[in-house]
A = this chain, B = another copy of it.
Amino acid sequence: MKQVATIKEVRAEIAELKAQGKRIAFVPTMGALHEGHLSLIRLAKQKADEVVVSIYVNPEQFGPNEDFEDYPRQMEDDLKACKAEGVSLVFTPNDEIMYGSGTKYFSIDIEHMNEHMDGGSRPGFFEGIALVVNKFFNIIKPDVAIFGQKDIQQFQILKQMVHEFNHDIEMTAAPIARANDGLALSSRNAYLSDQEREIAPGLYRALKYVERQIRDGVMEPKLLLGHQQDELEAKGFKNDYLNVFSMKTMKPVKKLEAGSTYILAGAVYLGKTRLIDNIILDL
């Protein structure tokens, strides 16, 4: 496994792999790799000959009051994990390499798809992600890119960017990896106290409960969702959102229809830690 930090080096490595006719899968990460990331890497290996992982905590996707400074960084462990999974190339740029020091004149604007869910709660979040992923796509030029379903709005927005910007990249979402008690794996779970960690799976249980009710025929889940939010608050969560969204537009949907695809998604706080989770509903 090779590790490179500069764009010139990563391009040279990619060019060599492409000259050998290798199909390349790309897994962008912010490091602090857990079993969820490793499942993305394993899926990447099924999809291509060589796996390229980026490890970069992108400042552009953090708001001024968010956890950019505290975000867990553990490069040595991450590199070991990548090596153990058979990753070919790890790209570990710094801010200077990704953004340079000159004036920025360009930004990527997103409409509608980022109005609700995490986009609604985190202004500029998805523009920051689109900016860095568009850069990574142009630097690495992968054949396929793997993202986690846990960040479903990110995946749908980036898939739309690939479509509108004509990136020649197959976009693949990997299923959510969970702890035994159902908690969706996340680098931010490291922030949780023992007590918070015990409460945390309650979000997924609430989603599963609502899912069952919808599958049993509740097509206007507003009251149901409101009740689950109350239950979550009673358990010690602070609610951000818990709702059903259109898979296509990322907008909340009041009345569900058979034959459509929805995302049942929630975001909560436990102390200062923000947790998200979702279930895709193919009705």
Contacts and interface: CB of A to CB of B under 8 A. Distances in A.
A11 interface: yes
A164 interface: yes
Nearest to A127: B109
A108 to B, nearest CB: 6
Interface string A241-274: 0000000010000000000000000000000000
A161 interface: yes
A134 interface: yes
A105 B105 CA distance: 20
Query: A interface, by DSSP: helix, strand, loop or mixed?
Result: mixed
Interface string A113-136: 100000000000000001000110
Interface stretch (A37-45, A165-173, A176-184, A200-208): A165-173
A160 B109 CA distance: 17
Contacts of A107: 108-109, 111
A6 B255 CA distance: 39
A106 B164 contact: yes
A15 to B, nearest CB: 10
Contacts of A130: 106
Interface residues of A, number: 30
A190 interface: no
A212 interface: no
A218 interface: no
Contacts of A157: 105
A130 to B, nearest CB: 8
Contacts of A80: none
A138 interface: yes
B110 A108 contact: no
Contact of A165 (B11, B103, B135, B160): B135
Interface of A: 7, 11, 100, 103-113, 130, 134-135, 138-139, 141, 157, 160-161, 163-168, 249
The 4 closest A-B pairs by CB, nearest first: A138-B166, A106-B164, A107-B109, A135-B166
Given A106-B110, A106-B161, A109-B109, 11 more contacts: A11-B168, A103-B249, A106-B109, A106-B130, A106-B164, A107-B111, A108-B109, A135-B166, A138-B166, A138-B167, A138-B168
